[in-house]
Amino acid sequence: MEKEGSSCPVNDKQVNEIVIRLIAMQVIFITATALYFQIPYITMLLVVDFGFRAFGFSHFSPLKFIARKTVSHFQLGYKATNEAPKRFAAKVGLFVVTLFSVGMFLQIPWFSLLLGTGLLLFAVLESGFGICVGCIIYHQLTRYKVV
């Protein structure tokens, strides 16, 4: 499989993968907290944050702010990766986290647990292993000229 950072059919803008992985780590913590304590208001932070990152307003993202400060403070460096697949993944994440939030507010436990667990799985893959499921989907869609 082609490495994510090697080509991008939409744009050539690069982002720091280390920041992205730290954001995913925060998503794990927030999602697990919301699920464990059954506090739907916590999920709204994720909805807002994913929304900022999905639609190009990542400079307003509180999770990105924290991740960038962490990278800077601990001098974790810079690992370039293409922005377009990550933005697509953020849009998919926004959809999932919005449904997760709705399920939490409507108190539908099986629905919330299903979506929350999926969100946790994808965030663990991203933060721990550098596997971006949304990016894989994006590359397949571009391969078949869907996006």
Q: Kindly report the pTM of this predicted structure.
A: 0.90
pLDDT at 147: 77
Query: What pLDDT does 3 receive?
Result: 45
For position 60, what pLDDT does the model report?
98
Domain count, the chain: 1
Structural domain harbouring 130: 14-143
Q: Give the closest residue to 14 by CA, choosing from 89, 85, 93.
A: 85
In the chain, pLDDT over 70 holds for what percent of residues? 93
d(CA 15, CA 139): 17
**Model confidence over 20-60: pLDDT tens digits?**
999 999 999 999 999 999 999 999 999 999 999 999 999 99
Local structure of residue 39 (DSSP, 8 states): -
In a domain, residue 139? The reply is yes
Domain-embedded: residue 73: yes
